Amino acid sequence: MRIAHIITRMIVGGAQENTLLNCLDLRQIYGDDLLLITGPAIGPEGDLLRQRRGGEVPLAYVPSLRRTIHPWRDVASYRHIKRILREFKPNVVHTHSAKGGFLGRLAASALKVECPSANPFSLVRMVRRPPLPRHHQRRRRHDRIDGAGQGRAPREVHDDL
The CATH number covering residue 93 comes to 3.40.50.2000
Cα–Cα distance for residue pair 62/99, rounded to 1 Å: 12
Q: How confident is the model at residue 52 (pLDDT cuts 50, 70, 90)?
A: low
Res. 138: pLDDT tops 60:
no
Query: Average pLDDT for residues 59-74, to the nearest whole number?
Result: 93
pTM confidence score: 0.71
Any domain includes 156? no
Any domain includes 149? no
Identify the domain containing residue 14 by its residue range. Answer: 2-115
Average pLDDT, the chain: 77
Query: Average pLDDT for residues 89-96, to the nearest whole number?
Result: 91
- 5-36 pLDDT, tens digit each: 999 988 887 788 888 888 888 888 888 999 99
Res. 109: pLDDT tops 80:
yes
Query: Average pLDDT for residues 133-161, to the nearest whole number?
Result: 47
Res. 38: pLDDT tops 60:
yes
Any domain includes 111? yes
Any domain includes 150? no
Beta bridge partners of 35: 4
Cα–Cα distance for residue pair 2/9, rounded to 1 Å: 21
**Total of domains in the chain:** 1
